[in-house]
Structure 1
Amino acid sequence: MAVRLWHSRVAPHAIIGGGTFIALVMIGLCATVLYQGRLDAMERARETSRNLALIAERDIERNFELYALSLQAAGDGMNDPQVLALPPELRRQVLFDRAATAKDLGSMLVLDAGGNIVVDSGSDVPRQGNFADRRYFTVQRDDPNAGLYISDPYRSRLRNGLPSIALSRRLSNPDGSFAGIVMIAVNLEYFCRLFAGLSLGPHGAVSLIGRNGIMIMRQPYDVRTIGRDISHASTFRQFSAAPEGSFSDTASIDGVRRLYLFRNFPDLPLIIMVAEAEQDIYAAWRQRALTIGSLMVVFALGFIGLAFLLGAQLRRRVRAESELELLARTDGLTGLHNRRTLGEILDQEWRRARRTRTMFSLLFVDIDRFKAYNDAYGHQAGDDALAAVAHCIGRNIRRPADSAARYGGEEFVVVLPDTAPAGAVKIAEQIRAAISELAIEHAGSEYGRVTASIGTASWMPERDGDVSAVIKAADEALYTAKATGRNRVSPFFPG
């Protein structure tokens, strides 16, 4: 019975707990898969950005290499007396190859030591202009070892303020003194067109930045960002820390959080930066995660709800089975054990007494003149009297091992394991007195109230192997109590 009661308490909770655990495991697995998908989306974005950065870097490197070769050729020509002796038209053709007519180039000029134009790729007669104040001029003038110099963005004075950058090289006299520069202007439209062909989503950005932190070009294009100094921005500090890498940060220009991938050009003082906005990277993943996650949560909640319903149903079933079992083991009127259960208790306690070699006692209780009470007061009153007597019996046996049962009709049996004869008589006397003190009126009794006669028997199991002998002895003692005046306790004394 204890095992069944344990199952009645645990089984429904186990189902609910197990169902909840399984649902949580499913949600956890789903969350793990979705999180891995998020990481994969970021890794794909990083690889895509790296490929785009490589494409832009190689295109710029290839063109700048051609521009540098053109500057080198023009510089060499300016040091050749034979070239300088040629007519202006022919000299221009010799000094400036076909690269000078490329779509993205502005002017290719030779400036003297004072910054004045002496040779112009665009005209046999040089245009008028002095550029001694330009940074691409002063750097070459002040540093003989400047080499190829790439300037910050500026607005061209010869081409109506067109945004450009300049590449310049120093020209030196035979004695090494400054003789001027040869320079080539690159329209920023070239970078704008190149970056526009790189697809990075609606919030992505591509930038070309000088190593001094000056913004040369940024896509999406905004004229206000060209030439802006970002050397103090947290993103630029990352660009300067390694040849290449990636990180997430919020742009100082527009406040959008992006995944930045950057590369420092190996042979040019430039940095290419490709940045895809995190909201674009996770857009498809977020939609998928929302759909799958919602379905999984709904499914998990449904699963938990089903577990609760099943647990509740099982709890009702277990409760019903417990009630049925209780009804099957107890007397419906008195609440005491019934005769079937009494047989199990007697067998169990008799075996225990035999095993432990302890005294086994039994009380046989019978209500005096109960048939006359029923006839006089009716069956309902008789049932009430039986219930009251049963309550008295139950109240006076207090040890957990003691038990009482309705034997049949108005007869009751009390089992008292490990109880000596004197102890059994004492408990029997307490029960008898309690029944009498109920003071239930009984006109057909010589005592004027409901009373009970009780027979007791105590046995050592080694004397006999059958508990029926104890029952018979207690019944004989009860008969003696009835025969000697009722409302008394009679112990069994072996003959």
Structure 2
Amino acid sequence: MALGVMAISLATLLASRDAAIQHAHETSRNVTAVLATNIARTIETSDNSLRTLIAALDKPAIQTMDRSLRHELLFDRTAAEYVTGTGITDDRGRVIDGCCSRSHTWDFSDRDYFIAHRKSADAGLYVSSVYAARSRRGAQSIAMSRRINRPDGSFGGVAIVAIDVEYFRQLLAKLDVGSHGVAAIVRTDGTLVARNPPLTQAGLVNVGKSPTFPRMVNHDSGFYSAPSISDGVLRLYTFQRVPGTPLIAVVAPAESDVLASWKRLSWIVGVSASSVSVAFCTVVWLLAFALRDHANTQVLLTELTQTDPLTGLKNRRALDNALENEWERLQRSDGSLSLLFVDADHFKQYNDSHGHAQGDIALKHLAECIDRHVRRRGDLAARYGGEEFVVVLPNTDEAGAFQIGEAIRREVEQREPSASSEAIPPFTVSIGCATGRRSYPSSLEELTSSADLALYAAKRRGRNVVVCAGDIVEPAQPQV
């Protein structure tokens, strides 16, 4: 009987170990998907800027424009904080205009992004390796570039958008990968673009030397376990390729961190099972308590994984589940489903002016404002990421959704004095609204995209406004 109990205990522990690893993989896969999506959006925005710049340079009106005015029009209106420079070079790599000032005379003929386009007319969008920016005293950057052709099709130079590597570091810094885990963005040649935690200059390695790195290069996504070549720690690597680029997003929690709870449980169950030979009833008692504690822990962990720790609202994972469930329910009824995308205006400047601690207080206040107006059973408010929130409103039409959005916007703007808002400097929010029904749109992605485009329209209309997707006359383009 004791051997039977020990065999069952061993099987349970092995199953729990597999479940813990599978849960870690699923969590990491969601994180890498979000990370890759954010980077892909940044790359797409930069590519759109390059295409627009090249198209503008081909227009006679632009070519004959005063040089100072052209510089201001094409190069001094960068809206994205992570873009550190935009410029164009001639066929010898010399800067013609842009890159912080029209007076710069930098020579970029040695850069890989210039050489690639000079050698090939079909390079398309080229994402460079990390380099030390000459125009910014060696600050690390990567460049997005496209070839500029002369009217006869010959090589005429390149258009460049430079992105500060600090942007990627900030993305990774927001991720919690455990005390021994790693999150990184690497190129397919094995060089590190960014890493959390960062490596010292002496500890920098080319991960392309790892025997397992070809798995990342040869697949769009995947999961495997391997020791790190930098510190020897066994980690669970989940990776996803950023589409159309040589960049790979990697999240790798340490196996010791993932299995820490499982190891503690193993000791408890092991000691309990060994005691069967002395008193079987005692072992059964201890095992029952261990299983009960384990079940309670799982329930608590499930709740924690669905709650944003700062605001107390639901997190991205809970939001995705709710959206899928409400969309499936919508397809079986004649009701409606509305979404509100809520984004704090100029929040980076807010943090820079008042500090990140005050910024967190402001986000909590915004979450409270949203929660006060999202009270129906079935409604859901979630923190989408950073200063952006999403509200899911089942059985709510356009007018009702606009009314709720306007109430949230007005309360944030007016900031009625309360114990939680007295010390909060003023700020505003922009809100995009979209409503779907069973017949339209055709997918959940289209509905969320409509709400996102409405949010962009609200930003363009001066912020501190609610815009419904049905009120957008022309398709909105993301701000660069």
Contact 2:276 2:282 in 1 (8 A): no
CA contact (8 A) 1:113 1:180 kept: yes
Residues 61-120 of structure 1 show CA distances to partners (whole Å, capped at 9, x for unaligned) of 11110000001111112222210211233312432474x242212111111112111111
C-alpha deviations, 1:196-233, integer Å up to 9, x for none?
11111011111212222222122211253898533231
> Mapping of 1:235-250 within 5 angstroms?
235-250=212-227
Which residue of the partner structure matches residue 69 of structure 1?
A: 48
Look up the match of 1:110: 88
Would the alpha carbon gap of residues 305 and 94 (structure 1) be closer, same or farther in structure 2, given more than 3 Å must change? closer
Describe how 1:132-281 pairs up with structure 2 within 5 A: 132-224=109-201, 228-281=205-258
- Given that 2:203 and 2:230 are in contact with CA atoms closer than 8 Å, whether structure 1 keeps it comes out as no
Correspondence list, 1:87-486, <5 A? 87-96=66-75, 98=77, 100-120=78-98, 122-123=100-101, 125-224=102-201, 228-303=205-280
Shift in CA distance, 226/157, structure 1 to aligned 2, threshold 3 Å = farther
Aligned residue pairs total: 283
Per-residue deviation, residues 163-192 of structure 1 (Å, max 9, x unmatched): 111111111111111111110111111111
Q: Corresponding residue for 2:61?
A: 82
Task: Give 1:195 shift.
Answer: 0.7
Matched residue SS, 1:273: strand
For 2:251 and 2:266, the matched residues in 1 are separated by 26
Q: Is the 8 A contact 2:99 2:135 kept in 1?
A: no
Q: Deviations over 1:292-338 (max 9, x none)?
A: 221222244444999xxxxxxxxxxxxxxxxxxxxxxxxxxxxxxxx
Deviations 1:241-291 (A, max 9, x none): 322111111111221111111112232222111111100010111112212
CA distance in structure 2 between the aligned counterparts of 1:149 and 1:304, rounded to whole angstroms: 68
The separation in 1 between residues aligned to 2:275 and 2:26, in whole angstroms, is: 35
Return the index of the structure with the highest Cα Rg: 1
The 8 Å contact of residues 178 and 257 in structure 2, kept in 1 or not, is answered as yes
Which whole-Å CA distance do the structure 1 matches of 2:6 and 2:277 have between them? 7
1:187 counterpart letter in structure 2: D
Distance (Å, rounded) in 1 between the aligned partners of 2:155 and 2:185: 31
The one-letter code of the counterpart of 1:88 is R
SS in structure 2 at match of 1:185: strand
CA distance in 1, matches of 2:143, 2:118: 15
State the distance in 2 between where 1:305 and 1:165 align.
63
- 1:37 pairs, out of 16, 28, 37, with 16
**Among 6, 10, 26, the residue aligned to 1:47:** 26
Deviation at 1:46, TM superposition (A): 0.4
Q: Structure 1 residue 143: deviation in Å?
A: 1.0
Q: Is the 8 A contact 1:230 1:236 kept in 2?
A: yes
RMSD: 2.2
| Aligned CA distance change for structure 1 residues 45 and 169 (closer, same or farther; 3 Å) | same
Aligned pairs (5 A) from 1:8-47: 22-47=1-26
Distance 1:244 1:282 in 2: 23
- In structure 1, give the amino acid aligned to 2:246: P
Structure-2 separation of matches of 1:33 and 1:276: 23
- TM-score under structure 2 length normalisation: 0.56
C-alpha change, 1:48 and 1:225, in structure 2 (3 Å) is farther
Partners of 2:49 and 2:181 in 1: CA distance: 35
Q: For residues 204 and 146 of structure 2, what CA distance do their matches in structure 1 show?
A: 22
Against the structure 1 CA distance between its residues 151 and 116, is the aligned structure 2 distance closer, same or farther, given a 3 Å change threshold? Answer: same
SS at match of 1:234: coil
Please report how far the alpha carbon of residue 136 of structure 1 lies from its aligned counterpart in structure 2 after TM superposition.
Answer: 0.9
Distance (Å, rounded) in 2 between the aligned partners of 1:228 and 1:162: 20
Describe the superposition over 1:443-482 as per-residue Cα deviations: whole angstroms up to 9, x where unpaired.
xxxxxxxxxxxxxxxxxxxxxxxxxxxxxxxxxxxxxxxx
Tell whether the 8 Å contact from 1:92 to 1:121 is kept in structure 2 after alignment: no
1:337 is matched with which residue? none
CA contact 1:213–1:229 (8 Å) conserved in 2? yes
In the alignment, what sits opposite 1:388? none
C-alpha distance in structure 1 between counterparts of 2:86 and 2:34, whole Å: 27
Quick one: which amino acid aligns to residue 87 of structure 2?
A: L
Q: Give me the whole-angstrom Cα distance separating, in 2, the residues matched to 1:228 and 1:73.
A: 37
8 Å CA contact 2:75–2:98 kept in 1: the answer is no
Alpha-carbon separation, structure 1, partners of 2:202 and 2:113? 21
Distance 1:226 1:109 in 2: 34
SS in 2 for 1:174: coil
SS in 1 for 2:272: helix
Identical positions, percent: 32
Deviation, structure 1 residue 53: 0.2
C-alpha spacing 1:305/1:133, structure 2 compared with 1 (3 Å): closer
